[in-house]
Chains A and B, each alone.
Chain A
Amino acid sequence: MIERIDAGLVAVVLAAPLVAVHALVLPFLLELPLSERAVGRAARVATSVHLLTALVLLASAAALGPATADLGRWYGDAEVALELSFAVDLASAGAVVVVALVGLVVLRFAERYLHGDPGHLRFFATSLLALTCLDTIALAGSLDLLFAGWELLGLCSFVLMAYFHERQATVDRALRTILSYRAGDLGLLLALVLLHAAGLHPTLGPGGEALPAGLAAATGLLLLPTAAGKSGLVPFSAWLARSAEGPTPSTAMFYAGLSVHAGPWLLLRAWPLYADAPIARAGLVALGLLSAASLSAHAATRSDVKGAVVVAGGAQIGLVIAEIGLGWHTLATVHLLGNLALRVAQVLRAPDVLRQVARREALTGRPRALPRPVPALPWLWSSEGWFEAGPRLVVGLLLRIAGALDAGSRMVESWAVGGRDREDR
């Protein structure tokens, strides 16, 4: 009985934003686009239902204890399959409540903030789809299912970051960001390959079982770049400040709030898998501290409010990851929630910062200068300098190989068409 109720609730949690996405996109494809008001109303209904169901799910988890919600099999057979199996416990249900709450607040904010903007519908549809992805990440009962939500969230991030698509620089930065994501995600994919090759399909959450020593260390270490990629930690931190290129609501929801915190969430949920591997835990602490130091210095150099807030938030995420590595999970959870709430609020208030300063001056009667960026010292630490060198080297090498392969292919093609290389127009 418990499982049936949880499965229904999980289905509604996942479906609420997804139904709204379809309600927005289908009329658009049929060239019957909805008005801004209708889009806002649809988003409000969806996010309200989402939050209410998430609260009921949390109450259910608190009252009845952890449970597994099975929504069936997406594909495959008894041997190899992707089961839509979700782990409902206090942590995962709590995470869904946080996702729903931030979604509701930020989309309500966006209704006015993006009023009259040509990309209004695109923003709401993509953000709602991203909420379903975040729910999947929060509730996934297996690494495979988590990966599905994880990858699709990356695609949504790309669309949102390239929101102002008329600017070429913005598009290039969005592209670099998603390529960073995908490079990091290779770690999770390789971990899955290792686990499947060993015949293991471990579950996530409190019910997760420990892996054999070598596999645990490998899994833990492979999850590091994945978490670092999504959270903008070293060596992928260059994209973090660039994420402020998108509209303020998407920066608040994803790059200050939910998406960047998915990295520590993955490490927390997968903890039972690598808890007995000291090398993986040491890796977490090292990555976390290095990122915290680098991003703190980086944040001090930022001259834009949104960029500074997002990068400073990233520094705190580094500390959270170090705390996870040390096994201080309660502290890490409180730290994560506090950082998330603070950064979302700061970014949402960022467009208003000058007015806030003026109001404070009027109240206190004292002029107050905005903090200035620190000019010189942090370059040494800045992740855009040292830490990007490695990925740049790899990308450069890949592009050289790709160029050589393409040149070889073109030679054969030229021979095949008999040297007639003009194209049919």
Chain B
Amino acid sequence: MIWGVALLALAGGEVVARTRSSRTALLGSLLLLGALAGFAGIAAPPEPTVALGAPLVLLLGAVTLLARPPSWRQPSELAQLTQTTALVALTFAASDLATVAGLWLVSLLPGLRFRERTGVSRRPFLVLSLLAALPVIVALAAPGLPPDAVWLLLAVGAAIRMGVPPFSPLVMTGYERLPLGRRALVAAARPSVALLLAARAALPEPVESMASPLQAWAALAALAAGLQGLAATTPRRSLGAMATTQAAILLYGLVSPGEAGVAGALVQWAGLGLSLVGLGLVVEAVESRVGRRRAEHTRGLLGPAPGLALLFLLFAATMSGFPGTTGFAGEDLVMQAQTTHPLAWRTALLGATALNGATMLRMFARSFLGPTGPEAIAGFPPVSGRERLTLGAVALAVATLAVAPTLVR
């Protein structure tokens, strides 16, 4: 059933890619995602991997599609986003490991549609996909592998796709060079979460035995990515560093033995996804007004765009785990996850979250505070209705999950 829906989603995406008008393509994409939401609500398996997983991914996809300025909506790009969103949503709707892993692999395919342009190479994505897919294919296809090795291979594949250091440079190129809304959506959806959850359910014993090395990797990777954020000088690079830090924290929770880490990772995933897409939309809104080159050096936007500044602060605070946000709940639960080396890894995670907070504040101060150039004030159009709708939807979801973080499960 779920594979049939996946094929229909791929075919629907192909139809969208062949339309001539961007408006028709957008309508087709939204209809496709709407139909999938209906499927996830009505005909999905009774026990999906994460209850709110598919609806949340579909919401993120729809918001990202709608938020794009009309001139940036090429049918092929909309099709790629729609197919990726649909396939990732289906990984969260499935429940058995083979289906989830299969969908996880297939969801890499729409990325191949991505067209090269000057300075935007396809190579990082290809290398990342290959590196991530290999261990997962070996885990699924190699006969007679011990469960420990299967779990390790799946965890490594999932971590590579999430861009956990030392594989972060491959995703960092995306944050620096791709349209940010798309990059943020791809990073936010994280089918690796569904893969690791399905693997945990299928292979309970290896999780216990392999937890220590995987958690050590995740904790040190989070610290390294957090440190790297200190050196970032542009909003896109800061965002990339923060996202990779969070990916490592997510991995720490997902590979930990016991339930607290998993519960925390799920809350973390939801908060991170929403805030990452929200931040991507805010940065994209600024770039669409002042141009990408100038956006890297624009300061003092609090004056001409106070609403964007407030939303940026809300999303960034969620992403870096400030209290009162979903990120805080997720990080707290992940840090209390069971581990055999409690102090060392938890201290590294603490350092990573503190550094992430510093990066977020520097990023806010750099873009929104400071003296405003007169040209920025004169040329900064007000937030449009489309932007208000999409940012408002993400902010509402962030606020709802902040009040009740456990809704995700």
A interface list, Cβ under 8 A from B: 25, 28-29, 31, 74-77, 79-80, 82, 118, 122, 144, 147-149, 151-152, 155, 158-159, 162, 165-168, 171-172, 174-175, 178-179, 182-183, 185-186, 189-190, 193-194, 196-197, 398-399, 401-403, 405-406, 409-410, 412-413, 416-418, 420-425
Contact = CB atoms under 8 A, between A and B. Distances in A.
Given A165-B302, A179-B358, A75 B267 contact: yes
Contacts of A186: 350-351, 354
Nearest to B124: A416
Nearest to B293: A425
Contacts of A417: 119, 121, 123-124, 173, 177
Nearest to A403: B231
Nearest to A74: B329
A152 B310 CA distance: 15
Given A193-B346, A196-B336, A416-B170, A75 B405 contact: yes
B322 A151 contact: yes
A412 B127 CA distance: 12
10 tightest A-B contacts by CB? Answer: A148-B323, A406-B231, A412-B169, A402-B230, A422-B119, A402-B231, A416-B124, A417-B121, A80-B260, A165-B369
Interface residues of B, number: 69
27 contacts: A28-B306, A75-B406, A76-B406, A77-B259, A79-B260, A80-B263, A148-B328, A165-B302, A165-B370, A171-B365, A175-B361, A175-B362, A179-B358, A179-B361, A182-B354, A186-B354, A193-B343, A193-B346, A197-B346, A405-B231, A406-B231, A409-B172, A413-B124, A417-B121, A418-B121, A420-B119, A423-B176
Which of A74, A152, A159, A172 has the most C-beta atoms of chain B within 10 angstroms of its own C-beta?
A74
A167 B313 CA distance: 20
Contacts of B230: 398-399, 402
Contacts of B342: 193, 197
Contact of A406 (B232, B293, B362, B392): B232
Given A82-B332, A413-B173, A416-B169, 5 more contacts: A76-B260, A151-B328, A166-B300, A193-B335, A424-B178
B119 A424 contact: yes
Given A197-B342, A413-B173, A80 B369 contact: no
Nearest to A412: B169
A193 B349 CA distance: 11
B369 to A, nearest CB: 4
Contact of B120 (A151, A162, A424): A424
Nearest to B233: A406
B291 interface: yes
Which of B120, B170, B224, B228 neighbours the largest number of chain A CB atoms within 10 Å of its CB? Answer: B228
A21 to B, nearest CB: 11
B371 A166 contact: yes
A182 B303 CA distance: 27
A162 B313 CA distance: 14
A174 B364 CA distance: 12
Contacts of B173: 413, 416-417
B333 interface: yes
B373 to A, nearest CB: 11
B358 A29 contact: no
A156 to B, nearest CB: 11
A280 B94 CA distance: 54
B222 to A, nearest CB: 13
B347 interface: yes
A147 B121 CA distance: 45
A162 B324 CA distance: 22
Interface string B118-132: 111101100100000
A405 B406 contact: no
B17 interface: no
A413 B395 CA distance: 33
Interface string B61-98: 00000000000000000000000000000000000000
A406 B231 CA distance: 6
Contacts of B297: none
B170 A402 contact: no
A166 B370 contact: yes
B172 A422 contact: no
Contact of B372 (A166, A197, A412, A418): A166
Which of B169, B232, B300 has the most chain A CB atoms inside 10 A of its CB?
B169
Contacts of B328: 148, 151
Nearest to A148: B323
A174 B365 contact: yes
Nearest to A171: B369
B20 interface: no
A79 B338 CA distance: 11
Interface in B229-257: 229-232
B361 A158 contact: yes
Given A167-B371, A402-B230, A417-B121, A80 B323 contact: no
B204 interface: no
Contacts of B392: 29
Contacts of A122: 306
Contacts of B229: 402
Q: Which residue, of A77, A172, A174, A416, has the highest number of chain B Cβ atoms within 10 A? A: A416
B107 interface: no
B162 interface: no
A399 B306 CA distance: 31
A412 B124 CA distance: 10
A420 to B, nearest CB: 6
A416 B119 contact: no
Contact of B228 (A79, A162, A405, A421): A405
